[in-house]
Structure formats: structure tokens, C-alpha cells
Structure 1
């Protein structure tokens, strides 16, 4: 049985293909359209899934959509009725769009599917999964666990904002839910909005900013915004929010509570904003810990699966790991709405059609999240030649030697290999690499390559076999979704003068033997690299270790701020020529910036809308 999963019409549209319970292809639409968080129907991703899996549209048994549009329309309608006459103007403006896009979304889906192939657009093939069940399915079915608690947390689906269930074998059931408008994801997004970042894309910036501040407002949040119970259940005080009926996340009462108006985009960040970020991060961690402790105590189950946008909060995930209530934790790498496409397909296979779970190749069913397009060496050479690139084709040993040497020499290296990652993280297939030992690498990559805010941290890729010697973690973290401290013997103590620094002034203080990936609180967002899922990347870091003694590399996504991660060799070459990346490695092709035609350089940093 072959099932096509689709998520679309909100943000991060995607398609995924599951064959007899095995995940064979998945990709986000943004990678093809080059529009970040593209919400449109994922026609390009669907067509690529067919191509990547070598199936035709007529081979598809079912198409599964990741939520139930009519239930979502019901929630929107009931919310406005509950709050009326507040928000009537926005209700009046939104109603024509809702009727077209929500109420009749089934017809819209069938139309889009027919446009790809007539055989896809038949009503008897179309299945729907509830939003949080899609998240739960994406978390449990690819996990390595036979039995697990499954926790999903995000902004909102149809009604649910948080759900807890149990997976056993091929069975998955949702046992508890918290419903809209009470939402941990929306609470976090309210602070994303208030601190001047974009909702649904800037939450990770708030998480990255938090260590520069102190949680001075955490108690105020608990006293006024969220009523948090001992078991982690909660209710929000809606007097301070405007997301139910208005066009903003927060209101004037929220401004008054926290002592000022919403920060404007690109406005200077102050210590107050950093303290606000630290505060909402602390509250989020407290909620997650209470929920998971209560579930662990109630069920006695020792395995935990996570999905939903809140599961991308890798700082909270690291605290969960260290809390010790679970023997193992597995997090869906595409935890946001893109992963809903995959979850819908898996739910159709196992929950709706009763198929047994597939046997895994590797540690889990995600194949390292390398589920997107790959390109043959001959195609890469043809594309680069047509683009006017100057390159050398190297044998594998020479390629690894040259790349490891470039990183050791302090160069920024674009690394484009194999199948593209599914989810928001670059995991060594579409990555920019650097030397973690360099005290200037973080600042250089942020300002000269990524063109983004200087406070943003970078992640380390570390050989799985060496992770415990460098970080306070001895577990798999293949998807860069766990934060842990750098080992004490690798840390550099701060001087008294350095300890007196505040906020962003802390950025330039080296904190460890690998300062480029050590955040201001001595933590790091860790990716463990495994030889079975990404042998070439593992071999590269091994070569770097042989040269330097360090089994760690800086790994950041291959893009600039506001740009989706590169998908094709053309994308990679454009980004290479539009930034100060000094070396590009695409397949076996090795490119040096100084050898390229200067006429091919382009103004790139303003090519994309800032996120």
C-alpha cells in the first residue's frame, strides 16, 4: 500500500510518501519554490516524492491530509461567536476566505490533486487525520519504541493544542487533550511577537536569546498569564491576548504588564527583551516538565515520543533528558506542520488501514531524516558547468582531506551531499561547516555568511562515539533536538570582569575549547553523527578529528537569513557566490571562491524577505 501525505494551507507545507509502512520520501514545498515557510499546496513536493520513490500517481492507494478542515472551521466560527461582538470587523473580513479555504477545502484539495494527475483527485482516495493525531503518528510510528507515551504540543490544530496518548505496536490512542484557546505554543508565540520576531518562524530566536537574560518576569507570567496546575495542565488568562479575535497576539494590557510596547522588527534588542525571552523559556520548561512527570507517574511507561512545534524547543528537550523520568526520548525531526504530512500518511497506514509497523533500517524509521532530493555526480557537474563554475572533481579520500583542511584553516565551507534533510535542521547534507575551536567563527558566520543577528548560536556536529567526551550527554541526538552543557573539563572559567558583563556583551567571551558552538550558558545544541545514516559526513568529521584532535564541527543550515535551505546544486552555487563562503563541496566537486569568475558574484543578502 502506498500513501501520499500532505500538509498545506497554514505554514510549512510538505508532502511525504509511505510504502507499506516504510517512509520513502518527504520534502517541504519551500525548498522548491524558494519561499520560506511556503503555505501553498505542495505540488512540487508531491511531484518530487513520486520521482524520488520511482512511483507514478496511479500507484497511489490513498492521499492523507494532516488535519480536518471542517473541524478547524468550526473552531474559528465558535471562537468568534464566544467572543462577539469583539472582533466583528476581523470576522467580517475573514469569513469569505474561511468559506473558500476552510469549509470547502476538500474540494480545493481534489482540484489540486487532479491538476497533478487525474487519478489522484478522487474522493474515495482522500483521507483526513486530526491535526494532533498526525503529529502523534509522526512521533510514534517512526520511533524505535514498541510502547511509549506520545506528547504533542503546538499552537493549535482543530481544537487541541496539547495532546497526550499511548502507542503500543501499531496501536495509537489519544488519551488527554488541552483545547484552544489555552495553548503553550501560542503563549510562547505571544512573546515571540512581543519581542519583535515573526510568529511561526521566530520562536527559535527567542530560545536563542534566552540565555542572555534572567527570568525576571517568570513569576509575573505565572501570576497573570497562565494558571499552571501540578500535573502540567493549564489555562491562559485571555484578558492579555488578542489572538482569538484580533489581528495581533497581545494587547494593551499585556504591554502594561511588561512595561512597554511591542518591539519593532530590527529594533535594537535590550536587556529587557533578553529577560523576557529567558522568562517565557523558563515557564515553558516548567510546563513541559510538569506534564511529562505526571504522565510518567501515571502510566509507568519509560519511553517518550514528542512532536508538534513546541518539541522543536531543544533547550526544554535537554532538560527533559536530564530529568531522568524516561529511559529514552525520541523526537520527530520534522516536529512542526511539515511533519504533519508524514504523520497523516503513517496514520492512514497503521491507524486507519490496520497495517503492521515496518521494520527499520538504522535506529529509527526516519533514515536520518535524509528523505529529500539527491543528485547524480554527472548532473552536478553539468549544472556547475552551465553556471560558469570552476571546480575540481576529487576522489573521496582527497575530497575529505581537502574539506577537513579547509575547515581546520578557518574557512567557511558549503557542504552539499546526498539526500536533502526533511525538517527545519540541516544535518550534514545541506550544511555550512566551520571550525568550532575558532573564537571568531560564530560572529563571522552570522555577519558575513548568514547575514543574521549576531546573538544566534550555532550547533555542533559530533561523532556519536565521542559525544560523551565533549558534552554532558551520552545518548543519540541525530536530529539536533537536544541541548546539553559542554563538559566541565572543556569549559573555560570566566574572569570576574567577564562575569559582570550583561546581555549581548557576553557574546565575545570564549567559554570552552570549542567556543564557536558554546552558547553563553555553556550549552550546545548537539547533533550526533552516525556512520550508518550519513557515512560521508561521519568520515569528514573523523578526518577533521585526525588532523586536529577535535571530533566536532560547526554545522549550520546552507542558506542566508530568510532563505529556505538549499535544495539543488544551482541553489548551492548561488548561495556560495552571494555570500562569503570560501569553499563549496557539491558531490565530488570542490570549488574555491578565489577561482570563480568575479562577475558571477551577486548581491544575495537582500534577495529574501527577513524571517
Structure 2
């Protein structure tokens, strides 16, 4: 018998690092580093190299090798890659792979890794392939991969058009990132185009605004930096420190203007514009791509491909079916890199079939029991039939955390790591957003259902079938009981569950349908307080304790929060948060940024992080602490407390963005004295060098 051939793909981009292991062309395991190191987006820069080198995804590599029972010496080929710059030397310097087995995808090759991830996991024998992201590899002349078209058949993925960007010619991914930045939408310190997509449904068209995306007769679509600069100059305030500065590249533009808050009408309308222009550009691109390739199928990857609102309209370009790789951003490139390496080995060819995204490591019963005991909850752990119990609890209106088997590949919860609820419970969307997830109220929700359940609940019409298993499709509600889940644009994101992949998940939804008459459930990702999706049983127990959900169902066990004495559970929550290694004030500021100031302050109180603790960590932390409480006092119309906190901030005699933000809030109040204080903050703040002296004078007066 021939020995199996193993190929390891290692994505080493500066964000979304990951690893994937193939055995004879079949995925053994694939996991993103963020799931294991618990850092959203998992940046891996060497600080001493100022970002020129990145760390390999140690935990992800170790996890996929462990899943197969292999060591580094058992791998036949390792293929690595990253965006912008090479990475092979970084991998060999940090991981003991035999050098002769390690290859790097040729430059420019970032997009071919995306293309391989999309086509080789698609159900197509032949397809057009589109890669569209922020930027791929950067060439010596400083151009970068912006968009690439391919034709694919069998084991061949061949580029047919390559579009490059430069400092003036920006990609559609950069375009969306710029709008996300200026609407105050970020995630892990990076612009969040996903949040921008959600906010777009709240906005309206402003017909006086000019078009920004340039479309070309050959199918290209891009944005000019100079035109973007002119547009933002007409709608956003300029930063004083940028006066006289020249915008030569995107980073200059992002530093030039103040963002607006996502809750403003301007932010919503900016998001609407960005989404509308993106959708128009994508239709233009896809119509030309289809005409050139002639295939009925599209395989699609790159960060832009996760825009499910735009994806739902790709049928208008004439595609019969569209497959988006579930991990369409750089974490998905580990799969693409592995398949790229597999092509060069004499091994088994892949079978075109629907990709099963449950690729994470497996966890034993012992791992579950150890995790529960680690947090002092062992006496309340009970065995259960997860499907039946979840269905019964959901029908009673409970919100549950669900952990079953292997984790999902990509950012969408697909039944491995989910928070679930009854979609017919009044106000369930607001409840999960405000009390459990603490995320912005405009964020859309998804449902998971059986094929019959989704067809009855939603008007899927002529939807593209290969989007549905991965929560990458949207439709309008047909069942009025689900209309409350519709986003502001009338859409609901949905997953059609595959029984063969997840029989217990499928069975639970069927059982819930027998009780409720609706074979669909609310399904959102199992993560809270800014962390990535949970991966291990320990993550699940810790995040459940922090979530406020009624119960955790985990690999055949149940943990019910109602069984645990309230005061003891509060102590465990503090322990669980400390185990996550996050700073309480940073988490509280994230909760407040999502629109839940009172919840943020309550969170700090629960973690026993008060003024003394903030002061002990230095002036910067104390300023942030006071700023948060100032906003809380203003929301409660506590005039005396607002004035007191404002004076504390001024007395620190330093100007920063938090102070200016507080000033703008003060100016918006109805009390004349508070308005005057805010105006003073704002005026003095715009003359930074004078701020220290003036604030000292103010702090010594009665206001």
C-alpha cells in the first residue's frame, strides 16, 4: 500500500494566519490561529522588525499536525505565503521544517492562493474564478495585486486577467476599508467592511454625491485616491495636524479626516453609498468575466467575497451558481496554498463536491470535563441528548450556547460553535445584541434551517445554491413570524443545514420545528466581549459564563446557569474574564463603542475595576476611565457628575481624542453651562500646544 502524501498550507499574512493539512488531496484539518491564540485577526508582526516579518501560526500548525498524528518530519511538502511580502525565511527561522520540503508561492502569488482555495473546495468541475481583496503581493515597482480573473478546470487554475493597483489606483477592498474607517467601524484595530455592509441598510442615497468607482469597458473597476480625497473633503472635518499635508497614498487619506460616529445619519448614508457602489462594480466585473470565460459557475474569494448582500445579486450577472470559499479572507489561503502544493505532487486528485466546513480539531469527553472542572462548575455538569434538550429549551424562549464536534472554517457560525435562539421570540434580535453579544444594534442576524424550513420561512426564489450552506446568502422573510429578524433592508442571512455534515445540528432544528412549527433557529457566532469564535471546550465554558445565556450544550453535556448559585456564578465570571487575559477597561470601551455605555460601566463594576485601579495604571488609563463615565453621566442627564468628570479630564492638562470626543458630547447637551464647557474644550483642543496652559487655568476656576 502506498504511503499517504501530506501537504501543509501555511498562511502567514500579517492578519488572519492559519494552517491546513491535506492527506492525498483531502482536508484533514484546517484552523485559524485566532481561534487558538484568542486574538481577533491574530496579527503576528515582530515588533523589532517594525512589521517587516511575521510569526508563523504556531498553534494552528501544531493543531493540524496533532489531528493527523504527525510530526514536522512526516510532511511531504509545506507551502507558505502571505500578502505583500515573502515569508519562507520567517517560517524556517521559527519552525523546524526540513528546508528542502518548504516552498513559497511565487510572487505575485497571493491571489493564486485565494483562487485555489475557492476552486478546489467548490462543487464545480469547471468555473470562472474571481479574486477581489484589499491587496495581494506587492511588486518591486510598488504596484500590487488588486483583482485577478482565472479560468479553472480539473486541476488547473489559469490566470486570464491580472489587474494591479498603485498609490493612486485603489482596489474595491481599499474603498470599503476607507468608508469603514470614516464611519468609525473597526474590529481588532482594522477597518470592518462587514460592519459597513450591515450599516448600509440603515442609510439612504444622497443623489448629490458623485460616483467614486471608475468602471472600464474591459471589465475593470477601481477607485482613484484623488477623487476619494475630494469626496471626503466635502463631507468630513479635517484633522488640524494634517493641515498642509499631501495625500500621496491611502494611509495619508485615512489620517487626514476625522471619522464620524456610526450612529449618525451621515455615517449610515456613507455606508449606503459604499455598498451601492460596490454592488454596481461587482455586477460590472462579473458580467465581463462571465462573457470572457463562458462558464456558468463562479468560484470567488478574497475579503470582498464575504459581502453576502452583494453576493445575493450575482445571479444578475448570469451565473447559474456561485461558490464563495467560507474563509474568503487570508485565513482561507492556507487551504489554497495546500492545494497549490498538492497539484505538483503525484497524488490523488480532488473530487468536485460541496465543501464540508467543519475542519477544526476534535475534542474528547475528557477535555470537556476538565474544562468545566477548571472553572469550578463540575458538580453542575450533566449528560444530555443535545438535540432534544436544545429544541425544548428554545421552544421555551431560552438563549443557548452550542458546542458540537469540530469547529467551522471561516467567520460564520455554522453549528459547531453557535449561540442559538427561537426566531419567533419578540425582541430576540435586540436581546442578543444588547445583553449577550454587546454588538452594534444595526448588525444583521442569520438563521439556520433545514431545506424545508428555509423554503417555508424565506423567499429564496432563484438563489444561488452553493452560497446557502455557509451563511453567505440572504433572502426576505416569507413567514411573518420571522419578519422581526429582517435587517433594515428586508433581508435575512441564512444557512441551509446539510444533514450529512451535522446530523445532531440538523436533528435539533427538526425537533424544534415539531414543537414550534418553524424549522429554523436564530444562529449567531459563539463569541462575546470582542474575542474570536470559541475553539476549545475551555473557551466554550469561559465564554458561556461571560455571555449570560441560560445554558451551554457541549458535546453531549449540559451546563445550566440556573443551577449555579448566583453569587458563586458572579465570582466565576470574574475568574473567567481574567483567564481570557483581556484588560477590563479595553473590553468596557468596546462595549460602549457598540452603543451600550451603561452595560460597559456595569461590566467594570462586576470586574471590580474602579477609579483606584485605573489611577494605578497611569494617566492614560485614568483618562479613558473618566471619559467612559463622563459619557455615562451625560446619557443619564447627571449634570453635576458630568461637570465634575469634565474638570478631572481638563486637570490632567493633556489633549487627546477622548477629550475632544467628550467635548463634542458636552456641546450637544441642553444645559448652557455644559455647552460652554464643551465649546471651550473643542476650541482649545484644536490648538494643541495651548491646551496644557488653558486647561490648567480652567481647572482652577469654577467653570
Partner of residue 495, structure 2: 527
Q: Where in structure 2 are the equivalents of 1:100-119 lying within 5 Å?
A: 105-114=87-96
Determine if the alignment matches structure 1 residue 262 to structure 2 residue 267: no
Q: Report if the CA contact (8 A) 1:127-1:348 is conserved.
A: no
Q: Which residue of 2 aligns with 1:548?
A: 516
Query: Which whole-Å CA distance do the structure 2 matches of 1:561 and 1:378 have between them?
Result: 27
More displaced, 416-425 or 174-183?
Answer: 174-183
Mapped contact 1:193–1:249 kept (Cα < 8 A) = no
Q: Distance in 1 between matches of 2:215 and 2:180?
A: 20
Decide which of 447, 452, 458 is 1:471's aligned counterpart. Answer: 458
Helix, strand or coil at the partner of 1:566: coil
1:237-270 Cα offsets, whole Å, 9 max, x none, are 2223599646455365xx5xxxxx422xxx4611
CA-to-partner distance for each residue in 1:214-233, whole Å, 9 max, x for gaps?
Answer: 1326x7352xx332124541
Q: CA deviation at 1:401?
A: 2.2
SS in 1 for 2:128: strand
- Correspondent of 2:287 among 288, 293, 316: 293
Does residue 482 of structure 1 match 2:482? no
Deviations 1:550-582 (CA, angstroms, capped at 9, x unpaired): 011111111114201111111111111112111
CA contact (8 A) 2:302 2:328 kept: yes
Deviates more, 1:473-482 or 1:131-140: 473-482
Contact persistence 1:230–1:290 (CA under 8 A): no
Q: Against the structure 1 CA distance between its residues 151 and 378, is the aligned structure 2 distance closer, same or farther, given a 3 Å change threshold?
A: same
User: Where in structure 2 are the equivalents of 1:178-193 lying within 5 Å?
Assistant: 178-181=163-166, 182-193=170-181
Alignment match, 2:199: 209
SS at match of 1:173: strand
- Separation in 2 of the partners of 1:356 and 1:50? 20
For the residue of structure 2 that corresponds to 1:220, the secondary structure is coil
Q: 2:383 aligns with which of 394, 410, 418?
A: 394
Deviations 1:499-525 (A, max 9, x none): xxxxxxxxxxxxx41145311222011
What displacement does 1:294 show?
1.3
* Residues 16-55 of structure 1: CA deviation (Å, up to 9, x unaligned): 1112111111111111111110022200000000011222
Listed one character per residue, the Cα deviations across residues 429-463 of structure 1 (whole Å, up to 9, x for unaligned) are 01000111122111111111111111112111111
Distance in 2 separating the partners of 1:435 and 1:606: 33
Q: Is the 8 A contact 2:382 2:559 kept in 1?
A: no
- CA change 1:231–1:462 in 2 (3 A) is farther
Residues 248, 340 of structure 1: alpha-carbon distance in 2 compared, 3 angstrom cutoff: farther
| Equivalent of 2:395 in 384, 394, 408 | 408
Deviations 1:261-304 (A, max 9, x none): 422xxx46111111111110010001111111112223221011
Residue-by-residue CA offset, 1:97-120 (whole Å, 9 max, x unaligned):
xxxxx5xx4322111122xxxxx1
Counterpart position of 1:137: 116
Match of 1:278 in 2: 272
Is the CA contact 1:232–1:288 (under 8 Å) kept in the aligned structure 2?
no
Instruction: Choose from 102, 124, 135 the match for 1:125.
Output: 102
In structure 2, relative to structure 1, the CA distance for the partners of 1:468 and 1:176 (3 Å cut) is: same
8 Å CA contact 1:412–1:583 kept in 2: the answer is yes
Distance 2:418 2:484 in 1: 16
Distance 1:167 1:423 in 2: 23
Match of 2:80 among 49, 60, 65: 65
The change in CA–CA distance for 1:467 and 1:248 in structure 2 (over 3 A counts) is farther
Secondary structure in 1 matching 2:7:
strand
Aligned in 2, Cα 1:411/1:401: closer, same or farther, shift over 3 Å? same
State the alpha-carbon separation in 1 of the partners of residues 554 and 380 from structure 2: 10
Structure 2 CA distance for partners of 1:404 and 1:231, relative to 1, 3 Å: farther
Contact 1:8–1:39 (Cα < 8 Å) also in 2: no
What is the alpha-carbon distance in structure 1 between the residues aligned to residue 135 and residue 250 of structure 2? 16
The answer to whether structure 1 residue 425 and structure 2 residue 412 are counterparts is yes
Paired residues of 2:19 and 2:64 also in contact (CA < 8 A) = yes
The 2-side partners of 1:177 and 1:292 are apart by 14
TM-score by length of 2: 0.72
Deviations 1:524-547 (A, max 9, x none): 111111101111110110010010
Q: 2:322 aligns with which of 323, 326, 329?
A: 329
Partner Cα distance (2:417, 2:534) in 1: 7
Pairing 1:480-519 to 2, within 5 Å after superposition: 480-487=471-478, 490=479, 512-519=480-487
**Are positions 1:462 and 2:449 aligned together?**
yes
SS at match of 2:334: helix
Aligned equivalent of 1:156, options 119, 135, 141: 135
- Structure 1 CA distance for aligned equivalents of residues 484 and 73 of structure 2: 50
Q: How many angstroms apart in 1 are the aligned matches of 2:79 and 2:382?
A: 43
C-alpha change, 1:516 and 1:37, in structure 2 (3 Å) is: farther
How far, CA to CA, are the matches of 1:234 and 1:247 in structure 2? 21
Q: Which runs of 5+ in 2 are unaligned?
A: 45-55, 138-143, 230-245, 594-703
**Residue deviations 1:578-597, cap 9 Å, x none?**
12111110111111111124
RMSD: 2.2
The aligned residue for residue 381 of structure 1 is 369
Change over 3 Å in CA distance of 1:314–1:21 after alignment to 2? same
> Is the 2:185–2:262 contact (alpha carbons within 8 Å) kept by the matching residues of 1?
no
SS at match of 1:204: helix
Moved more, 450-459 or 226-235: 226-235
Q: Secondary structure at the match of 2:79?
A: strand
Secondary structure of the corresponding residue to residue 157 of structure 2: strand
Q: Cα–Cα, structure 1 residues 237 and 48, in superposed 2: closer, same or farther, change >3 Å?
A: same
Indicate which of 247, 250, 257 corresponds to 2:254: 250
- Please name the residue that 2:686 is paired with: none
Q: Quickly say closer, same or farther: Cα 1:15–1:27, change in 2 above 3 A.
A: same
Contact 2:436 2:549 in 1 (8 A): yes
List runs of 5+ in structure 1 lacking aligned partners.
Answer: 74-101, 115-119, 256-260, 491-511
The Cα shift of 1:418 comes to 0.3
SS of residue matched to 1:11: coil
Cα contact 2:129–2:150 (8 A) shared by 1: yes
- Aligned residues between the structures: 529
**Structure 2 counterpart of 1:220, from 180, 195, 209:** 209
Secondary structure of the 2:419 match is strand
> Match of 2:470, SS?
coil
Give me the whole-angstrom Cα distance separating, in 2, the residues matched to 1:420 and 1:538.
16
8 Å CA contact retained: 1:50, 1:56: yes
Give the aligned partner of residue 85 of structure 1: none
Determine which structure has more spread, i.e. the larger CA radius of gyration: 2
DSSP-derived class of the 1:419 partner: coil
Report the counterpart of residue 45 of structure 1 in structure 2. Answer: 60
